[in-house]
Amino acid sequence: PAPEPVVKKAEKKPGFSFFSSAAAPAKKAPVKKAPVKKAPVKKTPPPAKKKVAAAAAPAPLFQFGGNKKQTPAKRSGTISIRIPKDDAKKAKTAPKDDIPVLKRFKQNDDGSITGVISNSPNFRTGTTITTSPVRKGAKAGMVVKTRSGSKYRLM
């Protein structure tokens, strides 16, 4: 007859495991440390406060255009806005009437006018239209009448 195999049990070695405390390592005996003597601490008075000058603006990361020194702009409590004279004319509003308004208009060679309309019951505001011919020499501020009888205020 054949001999039976011999099964050896594995010895448990001390080690670390996240899953059980059985494999936790044996605790070592605490080691006593010699007492440490501390040197006496000398108290020093706080340093005198210095007057700090206004902080300078940080240097720009990139400089295009040479080494020109930038000076900070002086700021005041008010804001001033300049409106060019051409924009001041545009800021005027049309009188409260039922005459459609043509803005950004141009008189064509045939006498018709092309522009952006508003205040019209027949067209959406912002639509570009071309009228039937009117008299030559149409200027902003005028109310023109076409040959078909329509009136337009030119702005």
The mean predicted confidence, pLDDT, of the chain is 74
C-alpha of 89 from chain center: 32
- Residue 89, SS3 per DSSP: helix
Say what the pTM is.
Answer: 0.41
Which of 13 and 151 is assigned the larger pLDDT? 151
Range 84-90 average pLDDT:
56
State residue 124's pLDDT score.
94
Q: Which residue has the tokens 């018709």?
A: 112
Q: How confident is the model at residue 36 (pLDDT cuts 50, 70, 90)?
A: low
Q: Are 132 and 150 in contact (CB under 8 A)?
A: yes
pLDDT at 88: 47
pLDDT for 94 equals: 54
Confidence class for position 4, pLDDT limits 50, 70, 90 = confident
Structure confidence by residue, pLDDT tens digits, 51-86? 655 556 666 666 666 555 555 556 656 666 666 665
